[in-house]
Structure 1
Amino acid sequence: MMKKLLKTAVVGATVAAATFALSQPALANSFTKNVGDGTVSYSDADDRFCAQAFNTEGPRWVRVKLVPISRSGPSPTITDYNNSYGHSGSTCTSLATAYEDTHYRADITTYWGERGTTVSRGSVYFYS
């Protein structure tokens, strides 16, 4: 009896894990990521990609080049400057004209005045 219950529990857990794993891509469209000198984010519901430089410790900026991978679409470059430059909010761009589920690569570069250099923060991949 105990062996049968354990087997049923293992099968149930496996099915639940597989269902969760398969549903993840839809949940992964919206995100926020810390990129060292600020954050980048994408809101799938609003089709908006945003960058925000941290408003601490001197001048900072975050630059993002959006590159459509799976099909043609908008490919803007946005730069957000922090409050040292007189701008304390985020800078956003719309991807509303992109085809649904277009695969994008966001190439990220940041700058911090105290460091005095730009840093490549790599890329983030997402679907619009």
Structure 2
Amino acid sequence: MRKKSLKAALVATAAAAASLVLALPASAASFSLNVGDGTVTYSDGVNQFCLTAYNSEGARWVQAVVTPVSSSSAPSYTRRDNNNYYGHSGSTCWTINAPEDTRYRAVITSYWGERGTTVSRGTQTFYS
């Protein structure tokens, strides 16, 4: 009888743990990156993507080409934030208008006038 009680307790514990795991919300896809010439952020709760070029040491910009990885119906975006050298201080933000949990890829580049070159800052994948 003791074996049956132990087995029943283990089954009940496993079932409770499984229901807890299944009840958890999907993991958040928010991120914030320093890309040398500025920052790139995505806030999953409001589906907002932002680029901010640093307002220091001459001309700078940060650009992201944001495309869906597997959904042909989700929109793509290409945006650039220019710093105050170009007369634009602040950030460039927009809303990702896609079905929830659409997988996206952001290809990030930046520019700094003193360096005189555009630099690839890598790729970030995330879910909307």
TM-score, normalised by the number of residues in structure 1: 0.77
CA–CA distance in structure 2, aligned partners of residues 56 and 68 of structure 1:
33
Which stretches in structure 1 are left out of the alignment for 5+ residues?
Answer: 1-14
Q: What is the alpha-carbon distance in structure 2 between the residues aligned to residue 45 and residue 114 of structure 1?
A: 37
Cα deviation code 1:14-54 (max 9, x no counterpart): x9xxx7xxx7x613x11110011110000111111111101
The structural deviation recorded for 1:86 is: 0.9
The aligned counterpart of 1:54 is 54
Corresponding residue number in structure 2 for 1:80:
81
Q: Which runs of 4+ in 1 moved over 4 A?
A: none
Rg larger for: 2
Give the structure 2 partner of residue 9 of structure 1.
none
Q: Distance in 2 between matches of 1:54 and 1:107?
A: 19
- The count of residues paired between Structure 1 and Structure 2 equals 106
Q: CA deviation at 1:113?
A: 0.4
**What SS does the corresponding residue of 1:84 show, helix, strand or coil?**
helix
Q: Which runs of 5+ in 2 are unaligned?
A: 1-16
Whole-Å Cα distance in 2 between the matches of residues 75 and 35 of structure 1?
Answer: 21
- 2:65, 2:93 → 1: CA distance? 12
Find the aligned partners of 1:93 and 1:77 in 2 and give their Cα distance.
11
The answer for the alignment partner of 1:42 in structure 2 is: 42
Distance 1:39 1:125 in 2: 16
